[in-house]
């Protein structure tokens, strides 16, 4: 309680504020109810208002509170505010515990429903700021409605929280339980500081690889994204805040984003329009949201338009499907500044009034970052141009979320918040995440693993002594992490190895200068094995938006090419020419299109942007202390011109006829599709090697013939035929042999990660719902059609076992 005592003098100032509500300000509150307009927080008969009763149902509390609220109070709930309104949160090192009283009162009057808190500041200062804001709302406003306190949390929350691999990396684990644990750590660390609303997960599909934000999602497949998104939502929300009401159902509000179809912009350009129709919307883009977000306490809409309709204005998407068809009842908000884009990007509104009305009519709130168009809503309601029904519908969604979190009983940070930050248990989850997300792409002649007794290794490349995190991390987050060079040194010391590391950078990530390659070649020549680390790079949230900085991935960093930048490929070629075994490690936020490396490197490892222990985990994989088990959540094209390259293309969409190619000596070998390249990916979705070998037997279905509403299961036995234990991801794919509309050539329908001891076996059973067999028919409805389905166990480009399912 020492923290509370230290804050007591300033909190007393908050408590001393008085609230004056004039009769005019009660517009919107309902008269003739069981409360007086002059005392809206109390009942006429002296009984406790239902909204203040922690034992009352969430819906009863919402319905009791809403009619007590004035129009201005309702609109304030719908607009995102900011901790910076009463505290100076701009200096990461400043720990001044002081606030601006006028700024506090004005912020809560106009934008008091949700408060942005994604700042890097000392934890003590952050807790102080949240306490000041929440106590003002609870103790010095008429109705005492607490705020959502918000932060980013795609792979760790953004105030010095534990940073995990980027979501694209987490997806490579193909592990529900691991994703849940990562989300649990993120929620636990944020919860103690008073954060109750995390902006994650991202469910945008990586089908347009030029887009800079590929790293933020779970890959190209809607089923994988939905399953891992559901695990992440569950991990964030499961549990209950301390001293919360008995009807509270979550301790943290997850935010599924960006609803919907945001990840496939034209040209790969962020914010650009997305083309498609109802069938593609239903069968591709909405499936992951439908699976992951039904219980998520909030959803964030997309910036882009789909089929010519901006997401924030899409009544079919937000009202017909989300609210009515799916029955979603919680908080929906726009992305930052998205409402203004109706005016200055999409050109569908010419005034702030139009933009605000269009958005709130779809029962959505407004995030900050724009001109705060929702401030026009009170006058529009009074003028009759906006319906109170729209305002009430949006507010009710937010109130449900707040009651579901138990915030009316306890919205405050915990006095012992330090006990939940960066714990030993969190580090264990981090270590597992960094280890299980590494993918072994190539391993010719069993180049890997290396012996810990090897004489020397050359650790080369611009990623060798650098920590490359994905976007949505805090300023200087890399200071908490191990680079590969540091990780290799730590691992070798831990196993008492005398292996010498010869390090040379070789080139910069962002330069064509080849003058440093000679030093890398010398290091390779003097070593037994060369390991070259190359890739893409992103920046933290401060640097990413700073003019003049460079990055090749991240938000608003879209690329026209997927090859290595600068002198990196020439570095790899020069090192390989030395003649020593050469291992190439891609450290990146998206697939890298370099067919020469696939053809010529002795081993290739993919490490999507790692977490804080990524350097150590990489060393453990290279030296065999960890057997790699990651699988690709996204396919790798041969060239940007051969994209899109996602595996589950519609039948007939990827004909391969006499592919051409260009030899290393420049000779042109002409073909048809493509003239000088192949449409086949370098490595396809689901691919990933191990240091052991697996064999599949005894593939069976719970029933080989089912009815159209009947679920079924797939069972198979996995044998480890190698000499070391390993984890295998069992993947089940379905193909609808004959259908009334064109369906994917194959579709992931289930997966399960299992550990199998050397020489042992495990039988895995995967359940599949009948709804996964449905097509969006010509009549625009879901239908499970009778017919045959091929059931395959393998990867998207390999068949380990298969059988046939008949639907009658």
Pick the range with the lowest mean pLDDT from 10-14, 68-72, 478-482, 793-797: 10-14
Token readout for 218 is: 């779970």
Q: Taking the mean position of all CA atoms in its chain, how far away is CA 808?
A: 39
pLDDT over 90 (residue 400) = yes
Q: Could you tell me the fold of the domain covering 438-645?
A: Rossmann fold (3.40.50)
- Predicted confidence at residue 27, as pLDDT, reads 87
Token readout for 328 is: 């979603």
Higher pLDDT, 27 or 187: 187
CB atoms within 10 A of CB 498: 10
3-state secondary structure 635-694: CECCCHHHCCCCCCCECCCCCCCCCCEECCCCCEECCCCCCCCCCCCCECCCCCECCCCE
- Predicted confidence at residue 28, as pLDDT, reads 82
Q: Torsion over CA of 139, 144, 150 and 156, rounded to 10 degrees?
A: 70
Domain with CATH 3.40.50.1700 in the chain: 438-645
Domain with CATH 2.60.40.10 in the chain: 694-807
- Predicted confidence at residue 5, as pLDDT, reads 39
Q: 20 pLDDT band (50/70/90 cuts)?
A: very low
Using omega within 30 degrees of 0 as the cis cutoff, is the peptide bond preceding 380 cis? no
Q: What does pLDDT average to over the chain? A: 95
Alpha-carbon distances of 563 from 246, 478, 560, 569, 636, rounded to whole Å: 54, 25, 9, 9, 11
CA 492 – CA 587 distance, rounded (Å) = 21
Cβ atoms of 56 and 409 closer than 8 Å: no
DSSP for 705-761, please give it: EE-TT--EEEEEEEEE-SSS-EEEEEEEEEEESS-SS--BS-EEEEEEEEEE-TT-E
Q: 60 pLDDT band (50/70/90 cuts)?
A: very high
CB atoms within 10 A of CB 683: 22
Q: What percent of the chain has pLDDT over 70?
A: 97
pLDDT over 90 (residue 597) = yes
Using omega within 30 degrees of 0 as the cis cutoff, is the peptide bond preceding 449 cis? yes
Token readout for 747 is: 């579709």
pLDDT over 60 (residue 4) = no
DSSP for 744-807, please give it: BS-EEEEEEEEEE-TT-EEEEEEEE-GGGG-EE-TTSSEE--SEEEEEEEEETTEEEEEEEEEE
Domain with CATH 3.20.20.300 in the chain: 2-420
Residue with tokens 């010419």: 350
- Predicted confidence at residue 542, as pLDDT, reads 87
pLDDT (average), residues 648-654: 96
Nearest in space to 175 (alpha carbons), one of 239, 227, 113: 227
> Helices (H), strands (E): how many in the chain?
21, 27
pLDDT (average), residues 707-731: 98
- Predicted confidence at residue 33, as pLDDT, reads 86
3-state secondary structure of 178: helix
pLDDT over 60 (residue 180) = yes
H helices of 384-423, in order, are: 388-405
Token readout for 769 is: 């719902």
Token readout for 754 is: 């299992």
Pick the CATH number of 694-807 from 1.20.140.10, 2.60.40.10, 3.40.50.300, 1.10.4190.10: 2.60.40.10
pLDDT over 50 (residue 421) = yes
State whether CATH 3.10.20.520 applies to domain 2-420: no
Higher pLDDT, 433 or 14: 433
In eight-state DSSP terms, residue 323 is I
CA 106 – CA 108 distance, rounded (Å) = 6
pLDDT (average), residues 240-256: 96
Q: 18 pLDDT band (50/70/90 cuts)?
A: very low
Cβ atoms of 458 and 197 closer than 8 Å: no
Cβ atoms of 516 and 506 closer than 8 Å: yes
Token readout for 512 is: 């064509």
CA 730 – CA 794 distance, rounded (Å) = 7
pLDDT over 80 (residue 8) = no
pLDDT over 60 (residue 11) = no
Higher pLDDT, 676 or 22: 676
pLDDT (average), residues 679-686: 97
Put the strands of the sheet holding 529-535 in their side by side order. Answer: 439-443, 603-608, 582-588, 529-535, 456-460, 500-504
CB atoms within 10 A of CB 27: 13
Nearest in space to 484 (alpha carbons), one of 633, 584, 593, 600: 584
What is the enclosing helix (H) or strand (E) of 457? strand 456-460
- Predicted confidence at residue 12, as pLDDT, reads 52
Which residues fall within 8 angstroms of residue 334, CB to CB, at 6 or more apart? 300, 301, 312, 359, 364, 365, 366, 367
């Amino acid at each position: 309680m020492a923290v509370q005592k230290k804050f007591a003098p300033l909190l007393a100032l908050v408590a001393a504020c008085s609230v004056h509500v004039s009769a005019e300000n009660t517009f919107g509150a309902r008269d003739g109810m069981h409360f007086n307009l002059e005392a809206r927080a109390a009942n006429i008969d002296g009984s406790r208002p239902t909204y203040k009763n922690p034992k009352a149902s969430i819906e009863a509390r919402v319905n009791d509170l809403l009619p007590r609220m004035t129009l201005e109070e309702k609109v304030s709930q719908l607009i995102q505010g900011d901790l910076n309104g009463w505290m100076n949160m701009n200096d990461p090192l400043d720990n001044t515990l002081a606030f601006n009283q006028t700024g506090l009162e004005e912020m809560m009057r106009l934008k008091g429903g949700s408060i942005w808190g994604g700042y890097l500041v000392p934890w003590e200062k952050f807790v102080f700021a949240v306490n000041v804001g929440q106590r003002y709302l609870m103790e010095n406003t008429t109705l005492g409605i607490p705020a959502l306190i918000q932060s980013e949390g795609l792979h760790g929350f953004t105030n010095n929280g534990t940073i995990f691999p980027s979501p694209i990396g987490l997806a490579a684990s193909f592990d529900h339980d691991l994703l849940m644990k990562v989300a649990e750590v993120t929620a636990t660390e944020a919860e103690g500081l008073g954060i109750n609303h995390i902006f994650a997960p991202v469910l945008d599909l990586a089908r347009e690889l030029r887009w800079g934000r590929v790293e933020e999602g779970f890959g190209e497949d809607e089923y994988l994204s939905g399953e891992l998104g559901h695990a992440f939502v569950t991990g964030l929300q499961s549990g209950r805040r301390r001293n919360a009401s008995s009807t509270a159902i979550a301790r943290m509000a997850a935010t599924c984003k960006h609803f919907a179809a945001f990840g496939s912009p034209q040209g790969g350009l962020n914010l650009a329009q997305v083309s498609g129709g109802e069938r593609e919307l239903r069968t591709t883009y909405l499936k992951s949201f439908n699976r992951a977000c039904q219980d998520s306490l909030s959803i964030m809409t997309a910036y882009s338009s789909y089929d010519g309709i901006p997401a924030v204005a899409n009544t079919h998407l937000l009202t017909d499907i989300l609210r009515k068809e799916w029955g979603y009842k919680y908080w929906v908000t726009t992305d930052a500044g998205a409402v203004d884009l109706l005016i200055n990007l999409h050109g569908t509104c010419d005034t702030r009034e139009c933009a605000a009305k269009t958005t709130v009519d779809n029962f959505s709130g407004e995030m900050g970052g724009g001109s705060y168009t929702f401030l026009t809503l009170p006058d529009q309601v009074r003028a009759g141009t906006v319906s109170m029904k729209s305002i009430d519908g949006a507010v009710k969604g937010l109130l449900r979320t707040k009651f579901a979190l138990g915030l009316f009983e306890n919205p405050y940070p915990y006095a012992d918040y330090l006990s939940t930050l960066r714990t030993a248990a969190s580090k264990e989850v981090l270590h597992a995440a960094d280890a299980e997300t590494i993918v072994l792409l190539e391993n010719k002649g069993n180049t890997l693993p290396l012996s810990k007794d090897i004489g020397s290794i050359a650790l080369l490349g611009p990623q060798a002594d650098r920590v490359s995190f994905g976007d949505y991390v805090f300023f200087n987050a890399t200071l908490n992490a191990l680079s590969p060079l540091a990780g290799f040194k730590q691992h070798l010391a831990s196993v008492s190895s005398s292996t010498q590391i010869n390090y040379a950078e070789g080139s910069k990530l962002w330069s064509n200068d080849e003058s440093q390659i000679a030093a890398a070649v010398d290091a390779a020549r003097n070593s037994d094995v060369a390991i070259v680390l190359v890739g893409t790079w992103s920046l933290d949230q401060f640097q990413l938006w700073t003019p003049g900085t460079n990055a090749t991935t991240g938000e608003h960093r879209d690329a026209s090419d997927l090859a290595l930048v600068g002198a990196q490929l020439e570095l790899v070629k020069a090192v390989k020419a030395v003649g020593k075994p050469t291992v190439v490690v891609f450290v990146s936020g998206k697939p890298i299109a370099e067919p020469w490396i696939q053809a010529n490197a002795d081993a290739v490892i993919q490490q999507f942007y790692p977490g804080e222990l990524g350097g150590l985990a990489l060393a453990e994989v290279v030296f065999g202390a960890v057997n790699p088990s990651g699988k690709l959540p996204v396919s790798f094209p041969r060239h940007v011109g051969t994209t899109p390259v996602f595996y589950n293309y519609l039948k007939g969409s990827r004909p391969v006829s006499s592919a051409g190619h260009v030899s290393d000596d420049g000779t042109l070998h002409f073909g048809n599709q493509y003239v000088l390249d192949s449409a086949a990916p370098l490595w396809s979705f689901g691919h990933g090697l191990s240091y052991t070998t697996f064999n599949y037997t005894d593939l069976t279905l719970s029933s080989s013939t089912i009815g159209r509403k009947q679920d079924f299961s797939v069972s198979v036995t996995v044998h480890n035929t190698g000499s070391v234990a390993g984890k295998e991801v069992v993947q089940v794919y379905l193909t609808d042999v004959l259908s009334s509309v064109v369906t994917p050539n194959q579709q992931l329908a289930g997966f399960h990660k299992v550990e199998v001891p050397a020489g042992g076996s495990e039988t895995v059973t995967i359940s599949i719902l009948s709804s996964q067999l449905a097509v969006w028919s010509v009549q625009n409805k879901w239908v499970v059609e009778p017919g045959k389905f091929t059931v395959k166990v393998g990867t998207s480009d390999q068949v380990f076992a298969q059988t046939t399912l008949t639907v009658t």
